[in-house]
Amino acid sequence: MSLLDRHVGFVQALREAGIPVSVAEGLDAAQALRVIRLSDRESLRAAYAATLVKKPAYRPGFDVLFDLWFPASTSGMHVPRADRPLNLETAPVEELRDHLARLLAGGTDQELREFAQAMVGRFGRQPTTSPGRQNWFSYSVMRALSPETLMARILQNVLQGQERGGLAEKNVRRRVYDSTRRFEDAVATDVRRRIAEDSGIERIARSAVRPPLDQIDFLRITKADLARLRREVHPLARRLATRLTIKQRKGRRGRLDFRRTMRASLQSGGVPLTTHFRPPRPHRPELVILCDTSDSVSSFAHFTLLLTYALREQFSKVRAFGFVDTVDEITRFFVPGADVVEAMTRLANEADMVRFGRTNYGHSLERFADKYGEAVGPRTSLLILGDARSNYQPPALDVLGSLVARARHAYWLNPEPKAQWDTGDSIAGEYGTVVPMHECRNVAQLTAFIETLA
């Protein structure tokens, strides 16, 4: 494969992984290749990163794809070194573990990578029934060497009689932990490289990289991703609030100040050459959130609630209501300064949102209109969050229509892809005739919508 083919394939793989790369940025990267030493792989990585990576969140996926398209080595090109203290292909496992312990305590990144490649070649191969094909796994390498169990051995060798529990031990533990993570990454990288050689780079690239955090679908999010999103709530809210404030101030003027204009016209013989305006009255709408908190969309509802409450300064009042097959106000769980995890736990344990455990939009809308209908008024922006799947129950379109008619604005955010609307028990199309429904599958789409809302 030529360098041009690798460049084009690499840029396309980045785009397919959710990392935005424009045509101009791709050309910038190609220009950068003309002024660096192509034999220096890290310079090549830095040139591509400087021209193609826009956010720190994109860097992990970029590094994985770079290692696939521009591997550090190729199978069959490994040459044993004479200066090694042992033969990595034939040495007993216990000797390999001793060697790994020395590398974790003070080895270089290059030594860790070379050792990881040799260990994948020795332990990572698994038999397969397909001729000419091999299976490669990281777990078999880590199981054979168990680097996480080497800490006691390393501490004994490094400290050599020094006081235990002090600063020296803490530094050693931190260094070994970081080296262990680098070794695990090196093993995973070499496994992906070998699989790519067998199955094709494009195939493994599509499965090796998860989308950036802001593009992961709410309905496919993991617990680890949700924890990371919770940590992103307040920084994201601050950025959004700044952008919204600038957007509201830019180009806005209040009503004409007739008195100041006429007073200024006396300087020009009564001709109002300069007009003066009153300061604009900022419109801070009230926000009412009505969200489906059932298990199928709980991650979406929880993160959206957290973000809108972090943005509550943009609204004069925020009230939130959750429902499954009945409705309850959950505003009390999101008071300023409340712990995120505690708020989520209290919501699940204390809120009265479930009768029989089956989502029922129609009954929930009726209960909301009867019990909390006064929350929606002419200054209210009504925001409904849910997938519109009501287990084939009546939709109560007339009740929703009356709520929308009373509100200043009404929006529906649906975390499902549009292609799945109106399939199975979804009645998104019917609700969409009453209130505008928007696809909102990830943080990027949610961020864009909140800018429009506020």
3-class DSSP string for 25-53: HHHHHHHHHHHCCCCCHHHHHHHHHHHHC
Among residues of the chain, what percentage have pLDDT more than 90? 29
Q: How far is CA 301 from the centre of its chain?
A: 16
Region 273-285: mean pLDDT is 72
Q: Tokens 């109002």 — which residue? A: 272
Output 346-351 pairs: Cβ under 8 A, ≥24 positions apart.
347/293, 347/322, 351/293, 351/322
Task: Return the SS3 of 288.
Answer: strand
Task: Return the SS3 of 325.
Answer: coil
Region 293-305: mean pLDDT is 81
What are the pLDDT digits (tens) for 34-76? Answer: 999 988 888 999 999 999 998 888 888 899 899 888 887 765 5
> Residue 244 pLDDT more than 60?
no
* Vertex 110 angle, CA 192 and 77, to 5°: 60
pLDDT at 129: 60
Residue type for 183, please?
Answer: F
Closest to 62 in 3D by CA, of 203, 205, 194: 205
| 218 pLDDT tier (thresholds 50, 70, 90) | confident
> Residue 253 pLDDT more than 70?
no
pLDDT at 201: 83
Region 115-135: mean pLDDT is 77
By the 8 A CB rule, do 330 and 321 touch? yes
> Residue 249 pLDDT more than 60?
no
Q: Is 10 exposed, middle or buried (0-12, 13-18, 19+ CB in 10 A)?
A: buried
CB proximity list for 17: less than 8 A, separation 6 or greater: 61, 65, 205, 209, 211
> Residue 131 pLDDT more than 60?
no
Q: Are strands 135-136 and 125-126 parallel, antiparallel or unpaired?
A: antiparallel
pLDDT at 327: 93
pLDDT at 293: 87
> Residue 370 pLDDT more than 90?
yes
Closest to 355 in 3D by CA, of 344, 364, 343: 364
| 363 pLDDT tier (thresholds 50, 70, 90) | very high
Region 419-445: mean pLDDT is 92
Structure tokens at 361: 């939009």
> Residue 99 pLDDT more than 60?
yes
Region 233-252: mean pLDDT is 62
pLDDT at 135: 82
By the 8 A CB rule, do 292 and 414 touch? no
Top pLDDT among 152 and 80 is at 152
**Which of 31-35, 295-299, 326-330, 350-354 bottoms out in mean pLDDT, i.e. has the lowest?**
295-299
**How many CB atoms are located within 10 Å of the residue 3 CB?**
11
pLDDT at 43: 92
pLDDT at 128: 65
Count how many residues are written for the chain: 454
Distance between CA atoms of residues 322 and 301, nearest Å: 9
Q: Is 208 exposed, middle or buried (0-12, 13-18, 19+ CB in 10 A)?
A: buried
Task: Supply the mean pLDDT for the chain.
Answer: 83
Top pLDDT among 446 and 163 is at 446
φ and ψ of 330, to 5 deg: -120, 15
What are the pLDDT digits (tens) for 15-26? Answer: 988 888 999 999
Region 372-382: mean pLDDT is 90
Top pLDDT among 308 and 66 is at 66
Closest to 21 in 3D by CA, of 57, 47, 52, 51: 52
